[in-house]
């Protein structure tokens, strides 16, 4: 109950409350993460962005090759795990700033 009302989009905070020239005008998690948590990055994963994840998902569900399905599944899980960790680390960064 009320989950949507309590949800905050971290991107809004970086658009209005915490702006850094190193974001190069972008507030995407990938740009922000490079600044607020530089040891995490998306370069090590086979899937690098949301569109790539959507394409990989479609390839996986259409594939009849078990090895390919397993590979894509693993890559998607790694991408989603990093995306989630990035959000958590970014939120912690913001909380530490505004305490």
* pLDDT of 49: 85
Q: Are 35 and 22 in contact (CB under 8 A)?
A: yes
Report, as ranges of residue numbers, the positions in the chain whose pLDDT lies below 50. none
> Collapsing DSSP states into helix, strand and coil, what is residue 98?
coil
* pLDDT of 13: 85
The conformational region for residue 49 under phi > 0 = left, psi -120 to 50 = alpha, else beta, is beta
Domain ranges within the chain, ordered by starting residue = 3-97
Predicted structure pTM score: 0.78
Residue spans of beta strands (DSSP E) within the chain:
none
- C-alpha span between 10 and 12 (Å, rounded): 5
Instruction: Identify the CA nearest to 91 among candidates 25, 33, 28, 6.
Output: 33
């Amino acid at each position: 109950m009320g989950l949507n009302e309590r949800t905050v989009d971290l991107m809004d905070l970086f658009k209005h409350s915490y702006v850094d020239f190193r974001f190069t005008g972008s507030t995407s998690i990938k740009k922000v993460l490079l600044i607020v948590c530089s040891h995490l990055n998306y370069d090590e994963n086979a899937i690098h962005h949301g569109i790539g994840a959507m394409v990989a998902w479609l390839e996986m569900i259409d594939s009849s090759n078990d090895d390919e399905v397993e590979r894509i599944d693993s890559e998607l899980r790694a991408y989603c795990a990093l995306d989630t960790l990035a959000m958590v680390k970014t939120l912690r960064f913001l909380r530490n700033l505004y305490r």
